[in-house]
Amino acid sequence: MELFSLEFFQALLTIIIIDLVLAGDNAIVIGLAARNLPKDKQKSVILWGTVGAVVIRALATLAVVWLLKIPGLLLVGGLMLVWIAYKLLIEDSDTNVKAAQSTWGAIQTIIIADAVMGLDNVIAVAGAAHSNYLLVVIGLLISIPVVVWGSTIVLKLIEKYPIIITIGAGVLAYTAGKMLTDDKLTKAFFSDQPLIKWGLILIIVASVILVGHFTKKKRAANPS
C-alpha cells in the first residue's frame, strides 16, 4: 500500500469508523472507573488511564498486525471479525465496571478493562490496516480524542441515529471479508476471481446486517 494513496485513505477512513463504533464501551469504562474520585483528580485519571490503555492497545495491535502475516491467521481474524460485527448489531452495552476509590486504582481499572474490552477494536484495526504500521499509529491517535473527549457525542449520536451501528457493523463485515480473501492461503485464488471475491464480501456484509437485525427483532418480540 503506497503512502497517502487512495487505498491508504480508504483504509484510514475504515479505521476511523471502526474507532467510532467500537469506542463507546471503552469510554463508559473510563467514566465509571473515575466517577467516585474528586473532580480535581478525575481529569488526571482519565488522561493517564487513557494513555496507559492506548499504549497497551498499540502494542497489542502491532503484535496482531505482525501475527496476521502468518498464513491462515488472517482467515481466523476475519471469522472473528464477522462475529464481532454480528454482536455489535444484536447486543446492548452491558458494561459492568465498579468505581475505584483511589487514583491509581482507577487508572488500573481503566487500563485492564480497556485491554479486555478492546480486543474487538485491535482485531478490526489490524485487519483494516493491511500490515501498514503507520495506519495503525494514525488510527490509535484518532482513537484518543474519540474515547476521551468525543465519546459522549458519539454515544448520543448512536442513540439518536441507530443507523450508525448498522453502518459500523457493515464496515466491520467488509473488513472481515477483505481479511478472508486476502489471506496468503486464499489470495491467489481470489486474485484470479474478482467477481467471486467481491460477491463473497457482499454476501458477508449483507448476511451480517440481515441476520443481526432479524435476531434483534426476534429478541425484542420475545424478551426472556
Question: CB-based contacts of 126: which residues, under 8 Å, 6+ apart?
Answer: 61, 64, 65, 68, 77, 136
Q: What is the mean pLDDT of residues 128-133?
A: 82
What is the model's pLDDT at position 112? Answer: 72
For residues 182 and 74, is the Cβ–Cβ distance under 8 A?
Answer: yes
Q: What is the predicted pLDDT for the residue at 66? A: 85
Q: What was the pLDDT predicted at 53?
A: 74
Number of CB atoms found within 10 A of residue 143's CB? 27
- Residue 114 belongs to what domain range? 6-221
70-79, 97-106, 160-169: which range is least confident on average? Answer: 97-106
Provide the pLDDT for residue 180: 92
pLDDT above 90 covers what percent of the chain?
14
Q: What is the pLDDT, as a whole number, of residue 153?
A: 63
pTM > 0.85: no
The pLDDT of 70-82, averaged and rounded, is 87
Q: Is the pLDDT of residue 95 over 60?
A: no
Look at 44 and 151; give whichever has higher pLDDT. 44
**Average pLDDT value over all residues in the chain:** 78
Residue 152 has pLDDT above 60, yes or no: no
Mean pLDDT of 135-151: 70
pLDDT of residue 190: 93
Residue 105 pLDDT more than 90? no
Whether 114 is covered by a domain: the verdict is yes
Cβ 24 vs Cβ 151: under 8 Å: yes
Q: At what angle do helices 24-34 and 151-160 cross, to 10 degrees?
A: 130
Contact between residue 28 and residue 92 where contact means Cβ atoms under 8 Å apart: no
What percent of the chain shows pLDDT beyond 70?
Answer: 75
> What cell was used for 68?
496476521
Q: Is residue 33 pLDDT above 80, yes or no?
A: no
Query: How many folded domains does the chain comprise?
Result: 1
Confidence of residue 4 (pLDDT cuts 50, 70, 90): confident
Is residue 36 assigned to a domain? yes
Long-range contacts of 177-182 (CB under 8 A, 24+ apart): 177/78, 177/201, 177/202, 177/204, 177/205, 178/78, 178/127, 179/68, 179/74, 179/75, 179/77, 179/78, 179/81, 179/127, 180/74, 180/75, 180/78, 180/79, 180/204, 182/74, 182/130
Q: What is the pLDDT of residues 172-221, one digit of tens each?
A: 899 889 989 988 899 899 998 999 999 999 999 999 999 999 998 888 88
The answer as to whether 87 is a domain residue is yes
Angle at CA 210, nearest 5°, toward 207 and 211? 75
pLDDT band with cut points at 50, 70 and 90 for residue 3: confident
In a domain, 11, yes or no: yes
Contact 154, 23 (CB under 8 A): yes
Question: What is d(CA 90, CA 213) in angstroms, rounded to the nearest whole number?
Answer: 7
Does residue 57 sit within a domain?
yes
What are the distances in angstroms from CA 157 to CA 73, 88, 161? 35, 16, 6
- Residue 107 falls within a domain, yes or no? yes
Q: CA angle at residue 190 from 189 to 193, to 5 degrees?
A: 95
Taking each helix axis as running N to C, give the angle between helix 6-22 and helix 133-148, from 0 to 180 degrees, rounded to the nearest 10.
Answer: 30
pLDDT top residue among 58 and 27: 58
Q: Is 130 among the domain residues?
A: yes
Question: Is 1 a domain residue?
Answer: no
Taking only Cα atoms into account, the Rg of the chain, rounded to an integer number of angstroms, comes to: 18
| Beta strand residue intervals within 104-205, DSSP E | none
What mean pLDDT do residues 139-166 have?
A: 70
